[in-house]
Each structure stands twice: as structure tokens, then as C-alpha cells.
Amino acid sequence: MAKTAFLFPGQGGQFVGQGQKFLDKGPYLADLWALAEEISGLPIKKISLEGPAATLNDTLNLQPAILSLSLALAKILVSEGAEPIVAAGHSLGEYGALTLAGVITEKEALTLVSLRAKLCQKAALDHPGAMAAILNIDSSEVEKLCELALGVGTVVAANYNTPTQTVVSGEVKAVSALVRYAEMKKAKALVLPVSGAFHSPLMSEAAREMAELLKEVDFKKPRFPVIPNAKGEPVDDPALLKELLMEQMVSPVHWVKTSKAIKDFNPTEIVECWPKLFVGSLVKKCPPLDQNAIYRVPA
């Protein structure tokens, strides 16, 4: 029997029409979209299937759209026989991992994420920011560039995606300066099409409000370990899972550490609850590189 590690994506891999091919895979997607629409008050199904892209990419719509689809795909995978031994989610995706593990319910997850989206949107309006992916240099070099750019404004390493791909986040002028510094070092820098400086101090107010919301939610013992972003190591204590989720909006996504932790479970397959590999492709690029697991998405 396959030992399966489950991955849940965050923002970035979305596309108009996402979910279309899974509508005939049972009631899972229709039910999750209906629940997401009831909770958020948004036409999640229509936005996911028809767009337009600008509407789908709006944080307010995007976060419940991604979570509802990824939860449905997780249920499809389980119905087809995949048995999770560990789960992890990139940023927003952590809510999916916690749901699959039984720590929170689908309704709780979608309620929290719909509120999270509103808080993120407000923070982006109140404190305009930017994010950029820095490629082809080590993360320790990116951290040094962040220190250098602090003379211009706030900027931090936000996502440690692979050993040579680190996303920075912060004030627009500071991110722009860091991009220039990175290019001077012959690194490749890509400014990301996002509305705010996620996983940075610019999200502090939103993080405090999110922590207050999380205090009211009863976290259950997970059925299998979950790897939180803020730690990058497996956790099965519900109190610690809640504490780390409270930190998540302002702490980095430790995906390199997460990838190693996933591979330490020696899964026979690593499945991503998304129509195509997105964060799974990052796991493949992280050491150890000789891991023999099959990487796949729902068919």
C-alpha cells in the first residue's frame, strides 16, 4: 500500500478553469464550492471556472477558491485509495493540511481563510508592499541582501522555496532595491504579481487579528503529523499547531526544511492537491535529491 505525503498549494498556481476536469469525480468539488460560497458570500465556482483572471487573482476571492478546490482534490485522492502519512501546505495551503489531518473542519478552515483573505487585503491597502523571487543564489546571500536593503525600507526573506529560490517581501522601495542588488550579483529576480507583502512585518496587524480568531477554534489531535510553515518540522501537538499557525502570516515559509521533513517519512508517493504540480515541483528540487517517491496530482 502506498505511503502518501499530501501537499497543499498556496497562492500562485491558480488559473481560470481550475477544477473543471474534476466536476464529474463525485460530489466533492460541488459540495466544497457550495460551502465556500455560503461562508464567503462570493461566487467561488463561477470565478474559478470563468474568471476573469483579474477577479480570480484578487486575494479576497483567491484564497477561498484555492482552499476549496484543494480540499476537494484531497477527498478525491483519499476516495481513490491514497492514505496520508504526513501533510504540508505552502502558506495558505497549511489550512488544507490541517483539515485533511482532522485538526480543523472544512467549515472552520474555509471560515478562517475567508477572514484571512479580508485581513490580507486590508493589510495590503494599508501598507502597500511587494514580493520578488530571487533565483540562482543561496538563501544566505539573499538574507545578506535583505540586511543591505534595510537602509531603504523593510524587506525580509519570506519563502525559502528551494536552496536557490528565495522569495523576499516588504516595502515596495526596499524590494526594488534588493532586486537591483541581486541583479548586480548576477542573480535572477522576478517581481511577483501579488497585492501585498505576505509573510513580512507589513502583515503584523493582520496577524494579530488572525491570532485572535484562531484562539476561538478548537484544534484537534491530528490523525497524522502536519509540517507547519513556521517550523518546517512535523508536529502532532494541537496546541503547538495552533501557536505556529498564529505566527504564520509574519513568519517565513520554511519550504526547504519542510521538503526534507516530508522525504524523511520515506513516502512512496507525494501527491499535490492541485490540478498540476506547483509546490510539489519545489519539493523535487530540495535535498535529498535522490528520493524515489512518485510525484503526482489527481488524474
202 vs 38: CA distance, rounded Å: 30
Residue 81 zone, left/alpha/beta (φ > 0; ψ -120 to 50; rest): left
The 10 Å Cβ neighbour count of residue 185 is: 14
Look at residues 129, 223, 240, 233 and name the one whose alpha carbon lies nearest to residue 178. Answer: 129
Annotated active-site residue 91? The verdict is: yes
Look at residues 137, 106, 117, 103 and name the one whose alpha carbon lies nearest to residue 221. Answer: 103
260 vs 287: CA distance, rounded Å: 6
> Cα separations (Å) of 228 from 7, 67, 81, 143, 181?
12, 16, 25, 22, 31
Whether 61 and 118 have beta carbons less than 8 Å apart is answered as no
> Cα separations (Å) of 265 from 20, 175, 291?
33, 36, 11
Residue with cell 461562508: 39
84 vs 86: CA distance, rounded Å: 6
Catalytic residue chosen out of the listed positions 48, 91, 169, 195: 91
First to last CA, the chain: 19
Residue with cell 511587494: 130
CA 17, distance to chain mean position in Å, is 20
Three-class SS of residue 166? strand
Beta strand pairing call for 155-162 and 165-171: antiparallel
Cis peptide bond prior to 288, omega within 30° of 0: yes
Catalytic residue chosen out of the listed positions 70, 199, 200, 254: 199
- Residues that are catalytic: 91, 199
